[in-house]
Chains A and B, each alone.
Chain A
Amino acid sequence: MVVKQTILHDKHVKLGAKMVDFAGWHMPVQYISIVDEHNTVRNGVGLFDVSHMGEVFISGKDSLEFLQRIVPQDISKLEYEKAVYCQLPNENGGVLDDLIIYKLGINYYLIICNASGVEGDVNWMAINAKGFDVKIDNQSHNYSLLAVQGPKADELLRTMGLDTVQDSFTIKSAKILDRKMYVSRTGYTGEDGYELLVENKYAEELWDNILEYGKPFGIKPIGLGARDTLRLEAALPLYGNDLDMDTTPVEAGLSWSLPRDKKEDYNGKSVIMDQLANGGKKKIIGIKMLDKNIARHEYEVYFNGEKAGHITSGGISPVLGCNIAMAYVKNIKEICTGSIVQVMIREKLHDAEVIKRPFINKRNKVRN
Chain B
Amino acid sequence: MSITEKILCTKTHEYILKNDDDTYTIGLTDYAVEQLGDIVFLELPEIGTTFSKGDSFAAVESVKAASEIYMPISGEIIDVNTALVETPETLNEDVYEKGWLVKIKSTGDSSEQDDLLEYEDYKEEVE
Contact = CB atoms under 8 A, between A and B. Distances in A.
A225 B59 CA distance: 20
Contacts of B66: 294, 296
A33 B40 contact: no
A35 B64 CA distance: 10
Interface in A255-273: none
A34 B63 contact: yes
Given A33-B37, A34-B38, A225-B37, A316 B63 contact: yes
Contacts of A315: 63
A293 B42 CA distance: 9
B61 A34 contact: no
**B-side interface size class:** 10 to 19
Contacts of A294: 40-41, 61, 66
B63 A346 contact: no
Interface in A224-255: 225, 229
Interface in A19-63: 29-30, 33-35
Contact of A34 (B37, B43, B59): B37
B58 to A, nearest CB: 10
Contacts of A30: 37
A170 B63 CA distance: 33
Contact of A346 (B38, B59, B64): B59
Interface in A295-317: 296, 315-316
A18 B41 contact: no
Interface in B22-74: 37-38, 40-41, 43, 59, 61, 63-66
Contacts of B65: 296
A229 B63 CA distance: 8
A18 B38 CA distance: 13
A189 B42 CA distance: 28
A296 B61 CA distance: 11
Contacts of A346: 43, 59
A297 to B, nearest CB: 10
A229 B62 CA distance: 12
A257 B20 CA distance: 66
Contacts of A33: 37-38
Contacts of A225: 37, 63-64
Nearest to B43: A346
Nearest to B56: A346
Nearest to B85: A292
Contacts of A35: 38, 40, 63
Nearest to A30: B37
Interface string A69-99: 0000000000000000000000000000000
B59 A292 contact: no
Query: 8 tightest CB-CB pairs across the interface, nearest first?
Result: A34-B63, A35-B38, A294-B61, A33-B38, A316-B40, A34-B38, A294-B41, A292-B41
Given A33-B38, A34-B64, A316-B63, 6 more contacts: A18-B37, A29-B64, A34-B37, A35-B38, A35-B63, A316-B40
Interface of A: 18, 29-30, 33-35, 225, 229, 292-294, 296, 315-316, 346
5 contacts: A33-B38, A35-B38, A229-B63, A293-B41, A316-B63
